[in-house]
Amino acid sequence: MAKIKYTKNELKKQKDNLKRFTRYLPTLELKKQQLLVEIRQIQNRIEKLTEELNQITAEVTKWVDVFAEDVDLHDFFQVMEITTDTENIAGIDIPTFVEVVFLDKEYDLYTTPLWVDRAIAVVKDQICRHAELKITQRQEAILREELRITIQRIKLFEEVKIPEARENIRVIQIFLGDQMTAEVVRGKIAKAKIEKKKQEVSTV
């Protein structure tokens, strides 16, 4: 426990601290609930993307034998960039998936096998979902870390800061109360001495 001063100013400071801590705690609790809801939604999105990727992968395998014709799909397109944006959740900025930008290359429709168009579309879809999955997993990691910090802060306020402020207020109030009592006693003793002197003077 930090050292405190046994003064009226310190008492006011501790009361202000207690008021601030108790006012801030519900905000942290609300943030915790928001983060839990968002994390659950992101987990659902991750599960959905994973399932879709598995389905696409199953479809891609249908082309494996055809790919043996020595056709490289990278000759038909390439990934230029993966664009992202940011979204604010419970006061935290997280990345969001926007799109994958592809550069399509021209090819001869007469000499290229018919299955290539469909294969390109499937592989592009797989690349997009894989990129979105990675970013969504990053979202979850960021929010989980923020949740951990928020829970730590809640415990700090509930178990340390608020009880500490209450105890400081109690101790200071007792000290100031004892001081006030002592001053009253001293005042009465001084008054009694003055009265005694007056009596002694009057009897002379």
Q: Compute how many other C-beta atoms are within 10 angstroms of the C-beta atom of residue 31.
A: 19
CATH number of the domain enclosing 93? 1.10.287.3240
Residue 9 maps to a domain: no
pLDDT digits (tens, 9 = 90+) for 102-143: 998 887 777 677 777 888 888 889 899 999 999 999 999 999
pTM of the model: 0.78
Residue 154 maps to a domain: yes
Structural domains in the chain (count):
1
Buried b (16+ CB within 10 A) or exposed e, 75-105: ebbeeeebebeeeebbebebeebeebebeee
Q: State both tokens at 127.
A: 């690349």
Instruction: Please tell me the distance from the alpha carbon of residue 19 to that of residue 32, in angstroms, as a whole number.
Output: 21
Length reported for the chain? 204
Average pLDDT, the chain: 86
Rg of the chain, C-alpha, whole Å: 37
What range defines the domain where residue 151 resides? 20-167
Residue 62 maps to a domain: yes
pLDDT digits (tens, 9 = 90+) for 8-60: 899 999 999 999 999 999 999 999 999 999 999 999 999 999 999 998 888 77
